[in-house]
Structure 1
Amino acid sequence: MKSLFKFFILVFILGAIGAFLLSSEIFEIKNIYVTGNKTVAKDEIIKLSNIQYKQNIFKLNTKDIIKGMFNNPKIKAVKIKRVLPSSIALDIIEREGVALIPYLGSYIKIDEETVIIEVISLESDLNLPIVSGITFSDFKLGEKLKSEKLDQLNSVMEVIKCLKSVKMTDIIETINVEDSSNIIITTSNNIRVYLGNNKLDYKIGMAKSIVEDLTKDNEIGIVDMRHEGNPIFKRD
């Protein structure tokens, strides 16, 4: 009997604590902190989360919050933390664009997972490589690009990964994969590098040094790396 009585007392205490936590004004949300966002505004993130001020902090449904966040294709992940007694912290990880693909008088921006982040106009400030040779019939924001030439798309992503590893992305203007046997990258100062389609990591590492030397000498032209042996440079 004593054990049963203690059990009911414990249940009563826990129930009372639960009722207090769910009804007390102390735990009403007064602050929403947002960190990690770069391009998505704080107000937009709070709106997507559907978190309401004065809402009880323990009544939040984190699954619904995350689901709401993913309505913006730029948001890749979010961490939600309750900061007692009355604050919520949202830590955002955004998708970062790595390339632009022309589409009906505009560009679609994709990230390293080929997820489509946004559509931008031709007049926008273009600071990412423009990819040619990728064909597709339709797309949906927030989903992966479904290309009719999957091999070419995979090659593009490999090239971008290699460019990023040698810190060369910023100077690349275009990536051309129309000919799947010969990927061509063009720098912002019009040096064209014919890579072929093998040993891309090695060739791009070498291409960086060559491009840097040519740029110092104000040379433009074609660097041919399609064949075994030393690269061949042809001036324009």
Structure 2
Amino acid sequence: MKNLKKTMIISFIIILSFLLILVLPVWNIKNINIEGNKYYIDDDIKIILGLDKPTHILTLSQSDVENSKKILPFIKEIHLDKVLPDTINLNIVERTPLGYIPFSGGYIILDEEGYVLAHHEQKIEKLPIIEGIKINKFLVGEKLVPVEDEEFIVLKEILSILNKYNLQEEVTTINVSDTEQIHLYINSLDVIIGDIKEFEQKIRWLIGIYDTYTIGVLDLSMIENGSAVLKPLE
């Protein structure tokens, strides 16, 4: 009986000592390393995560940092790495804005997956204006839900390929009003894409031609026949 009582006392002392150690200030986060952020400064991220005040390193979880994406829509992924006792590393992957949809006197900013990153009264980056997508409402940080699906599916493929070839800042307008007769506009060059078939190949043709011809109407809708037609502006 005495041995049991002694064991219980020792166990209590060990647990109490452990708990006392955990509440020591040494476990408060002191060093915060953030990488991969372009659209948000470090201080904004710290405030959203509550790291602008003393925070115990063991109370911060991956789910906590994941929840920050609801408030910081440009963040696609955020990964937490803890280095005990007082350091955390946050690695961020941001969404890339690829186009504007005019809406209610302003502009909705989209990424290649169709997520709404922001809504501004004016354009803040050099990105194409998207025509032909009808929407009734949207939520920042959520995928856009258009009135018609077909145009939106086509648009997402266009944005993805333009991003792949770093053309999102060159193209001024994307028109998908008629998905059988898609148009891209690069300053004074009207590019007739036709339908979305072989779109990446059409973009490769465009890159080669645009180095020489920057004005007129370029018809790439029949490149499967091995030809493109360039006409002067009427």
Deviation (angstroms), 1:34:
2.0
**Is 1:129 aligned to 2:128, yes or no?**
yes
Partner residue of 2:193 out of 192, 195, 216: 195
Deviation at 1:45, TM superposition (A): 0.5
Partner Cα separation in structure 1 for residue 193 and residue 87 of structure 2:
53
TM score, norm. by length of structure 2 = 0.86
Matches within 5 A, 1:82-231: 82-122=82-122, 124-188=123-187, 190-197=188-195, 198-215=197-214, 220-227=215-222, 228-229=224-225, 230-231=227-228
Report the 3-state secondary structure (helix = DSSP H, G, I; strand = E; otherwise coil) of the residue aligned with 2:201. helix
| 2:88 partner SS | strand
CA offset digits 1:115-160 (Å, max 9, x no partner): 00001223x3441111100001000001001011211111112122
Determine helix, strand or coil for the equivalent of 2:212.
helix
Q: Does 2:40 match 1:40?
A: yes
- What are structure 2's unaligned runs of at least 5 residues? none
User: Residues of 2 paired with 1:43 and 1:50: CA distance?
Assistant: 10
- Paired residue type of 1:231: A
Distance 1:39 1:52, change over 3 A: closer
Aligned-partner residue type, residue 34 of structure 1: I
Using structure 1 for the length normalisation, give the TM-score: 0.85
Conserved in 2, the CA contact under 8 Å of 1:22 and 1:59?
Answer: no
May I ask how many residue pairs the two structures share in their alignment?
227
Note the aligned Cα RMSD (angstroms). 2.5
* Contact 2:65 2:79 (8 Å CA) reproduced: no
Provide closer, same or farther for how the CA distance between residues 9 and 194 of structure 1 changes in structure 2, counting only shifts above 3 A: farther
SS at match of 1:179: coil
State percent identity of aligned pairs: 29
The structural deviation recorded for 1:165 is 2.8
